[in-house]
Structure 1
């Protein structure tokens, strides 16, 4: 049975049984067409709005399979999508009628505690990494949802609970094994293909398929101080003012965030928060847990607590604490984000008002405190350019019924548009849905002055833009 797939020229091509069988003989992993057993079992995406309908899936077991898959796609002129963790808000690993390179089977983590290095395959999620590294009391700064893919988060920057003390995920990337658009396997490090390593530190999936990441590790845990206090959303403005004043003087060991959500009537939660709109203040102290609980104490005293979950907690538990808010293939999701150079009273009042007017119980309006180790890295030292703004506003539209898509997307866009009056320091691409504006606007906003160098590196490693299912950088060769 032949398969119709989309080509890079925008047309369609037919892949015959003979052609597909040749691919099956070349690789040592499953090659799945829509009618094949196992096709429906590939790793689900997070965003149910963009489930993807690939024409062909290569579920790779290793680097050689990825190399052969890329070569096959190039030889046949196919559009390629790469799915690592599948957590892309914009659905960048879920193109229709594409050839999908599925990295889910490639989730190994190898830890060298003496060298404080971890080698991580491209299909791993952060739970895989945390489990292995925490066995040695070590960690890579990762995300705040343990089911998030290592690849997407790292290549896009990577904010987590350790960001102010240790910086971004991409800052800890010291080497990578990459399958390029030409099918060649390269290592990017401080001694070879250094330009490629620079680009991978925040430049997205533009430059090839990363099959192995090598991360520098930090001493963390196994127990950390955690603050997690739920306040009534009606007190959001006062809570946010207190939070702003606290983080202004907090040491770099403290990473703190605020989010607003309506809690479900979960029997495992106290009745006080059942079906209750809350502002949740979370914080982690990177250091001695007992000392950290004292330093985090003010975050527990910002208003009238409905629920206080603050306590010394295993780092792995902190990493998994928000997982329940982000189930796979369940929520329709459309997000926007904006960096803010300050957090004025007027900005706080705006955030509080929008938090109270959320159109869905599981829509989040978030504020992240930045600075610290993030800002200590020069903006041109990595592809990730935005390091100076002290705050990030993220408007995470989440809901369950596709019939509500239009109204919820409109609300997120309106909130994002109105927020520009409080500062417009660029966007964070990992927290950005498919745009209603030209794609290069968001890319230019995110990369700023680094975009020209990124375009040149793109032209060197992917001149034909084979890897385009991403926050795409147009290849531009420099003379």
Structure 2
């Protein structure tokens, strides 16, 4: 994020402008009803009315819990000038000479790491304010890190300052009565999943549970529950955000913290829900929760290339109903990958049913009538016959659902990620894309993958575009291209980009042939 100005541009699909002026303090605080929808507060001791200052942050928090919506003020001006920034920093500061430095700049994608001048772990809101002021005073770039999953390096800074929220701003507190999760900006989805399900509740989160809540939510946020509850950003009912503020006549910044919601600073609330992380540092989200079964059905079904046409015929027929929301609780991811045993390209399907295993298997029975059947309980498998099917589906606890892809999404490799969308994905497109993938996924790129999302978007598209800044409501279903390679080598990143472009162009050629515009931008979180 740039600390010089707060971004004020609106997204292309938005009909509502984002004013560049600093937002004015809300005249009314917010509360939430049983369903988690914002409403005017009446008597809620956790909420602070206009003009009321919170107690001293340093004395009213123990350092374990991040100050946030339910304990903070609606608007807190910085009392520190830039000239004293970081002199009273209560978190941890890591520089290149510190033994923890390499760990502090480590990221999910190795190629996204940058040699920061310093990494700071704020303990209190005043630390966040001090870090922003310090970066401005010293004219250095500032990056915010939550989960550290950006392949593009947006959570890193080459020679700048990294504001890492993961150490002290990762608390999750569940208000089960009102179905709200108060989530620190440095939390990951595993934290939310495990805390909420203890109350029979769940949030719309990502499909990999070590992804950061902040980055995914600010960029939109597709997940397994999108078909039932929309995007992650659609389920944000309030947030605490620190904005850089305007510079005074001396050139000093005075960052401020704000509570934003539909009734408190609504323009900034509009911007952070799907508009990205350019508007400030979100230290806490208030996220709507939904009743959730403790047990779901999922797993992986693996096919050899010989059944590709039959498989995608069956998927298209199923998707004609499920994609419109007429098969509640059903989603799937389909992925192309290289079998590490045979070194052959394979097709995997990860179905999801938000209910019992018995009903889930019945709902997805079409997956088990394709090719030959070969059942294994272990993750390892070896298939010689072209049409064997490997079935690893089972009932599992909901909180384990978003952990299924963790083994394939381990940190440590170089990664290039991009994506596009499609209106349809018939067998002819699938076969062409699979053929290209098979060609490019040779060593050292043999850990790469293509992921075709079947996440129902009817609720996403039904939301008026002027309710949030998310720009992709009218787009098709997502396809993700993830190119892996293990070690840095000259030209490897350029080759990875070329591979991803070839894959995207393959999809675009069919979209154009059908008279549709190619989605050259894709989903922002897949860049």
Taking the aligned partners of 2:331 and 2:272, their CA distance within structure 1 comes to 25
Structure 1 residue 194: Cα displacement: 0.8
1:41-440 paired onto structure 2 within 5 Å: 41-42=103-104, 44-105=106-167, 106-182=169-245, 183-250=255-322, 251-265=327-341, 275-303=343-371, 304-328=387-411, 330-359=412-441, 360-369=445-454, 370-403=456-489, 404-423=492-511, 424-425=518-519, 426-432=521-527
Taking the aligned partners of 2:312 and 2:109, their CA distance within structure 1 comes to 29
Taking the aligned partners of 1:229 and 1:345, their CA distance within structure 2 comes to 18
Larger Rg: 2
Verify the 8 A CA contact 1:107 1:124 in the aligned structure 2. Answer: yes
- Structure 1: 5+ residue stretches without partners: 1-5, 10-18, 266-273, 433-479
Query: SS where residue 352 of structure 2 aligns?
Result: strand
Verify the 8 A CA contact 2:86 2:134 in the aligned structure 1. Answer: no
Verify the 8 A CA contact 1:333 1:399 in the aligned structure 2. Answer: yes
Taking the aligned partners of 1:337 and 1:54, their CA distance within structure 2 comes to 28
Per-residue CA deviation, residues 159-205 of structure 1 (Å, 9 max, x unaligned), is: 11112122111111111000001210001112101111111111110
Structure 1 residue 291: Cα displacement: 2.5
Taking the aligned partners of 1:343 and 1:117, their CA distance within structure 2 comes to 37
Taking the aligned partners of 2:122 and 2:315, their CA distance within structure 1 comes to 46
Moved more, 169-178 or 391-400: 391-400
Taking the aligned partners of 2:86 and 2:3, their CA distance within structure 1 comes to 20
Taking the aligned partners of 1:246 and 1:357, their CA distance within structure 2 comes to 29
Q: 1:143 to 1:301 in 2, by over 3 A?
A: farther
Structure 1 residue 419: Cα displacement: 2.3
Verify the 8 A CA contact 2:200 2:292 in the aligned structure 1. Answer: yes
Q: 1:62 to 1:293 in 2, by over 3 A?
A: farther
Verify the 8 A CA contact 1:229 1:310 in the aligned structure 2. Answer: yes
Verify the 8 A CA contact 1:8 1:79 in the aligned structure 2. Answer: no
Verify the 8 A CA contact 2:182 2:285 in the aligned structure 1. Answer: yes
Verify the 8 A CA contact 1:24 1:31 in the aligned structure 2. Answer: no
Structure 1 residue 332: Cα displacement: 1.2
Q: 1:357 to 1:259 in 2, by over 3 A?
A: same
Query: SS where residue 459 of structure 2 aligns?
Result: coil
Q: Which residue pairs with 1:435 in the alignment?
A: none
Taking the aligned partners of 1:206 and 1:317, their CA distance within structure 2 comes to 32
Taking the aligned partners of 2:200 and 2:186, their CA distance within structure 1 comes to 23
Taking the aligned partners of 2:368 and 2:191, their CA distance within structure 1 comes to 31
Q: Which residue pairs with 1:269 in the alignment?
A: none
TM-score normalised according to structure 1 size:
0.80
More helix per residue: 1 or 2?
A: 1
Verify the 8 A CA contact 1:252 1:372 in the aligned structure 2. Answer: no
Taking the aligned partners of 1:186 and 1:394, their CA distance within structure 2 comes to 35
Query: SS where residue 278 of structure 1 aligns?
Result: strand
Structure 1 residue 20: Cα displacement: 12
Query: SS where residue 357 of structure 1 aligns?
Result: helix
Moved more, 168-177 or 359-368: 359-368
Per-residue CA deviation, residues 352-409 of structure 1 (Å, 9 max, x unaligned), is: 2223223222111121124232222223322112123442122111121222333332
Q: Which residue pairs with 1:444 in the alignment?
A: none
Q: Which residue pairs with 2:378 in the alignment?
A: none
Moved more, 303-312 or 59-68: 303-312
Give the count of matched residue pairs. 409
Moved more, 311-320 or 105-114: 311-320
Q: 1:39 to 1:215 in 2, by over 3 A?
A: same
TM-score normalised according to structure 2 size:
0.73
Taking the aligned partners of 2:176 and 2:120, their CA distance within structure 1 comes to 33
Query: SS where residue 440 of structure 2 aligns?
Result: coil
Taking the aligned partners of 1:96 and 1:228, their CA distance within structure 2 comes to 39
Structure 1 residue 77: Cα displacement: 2.3
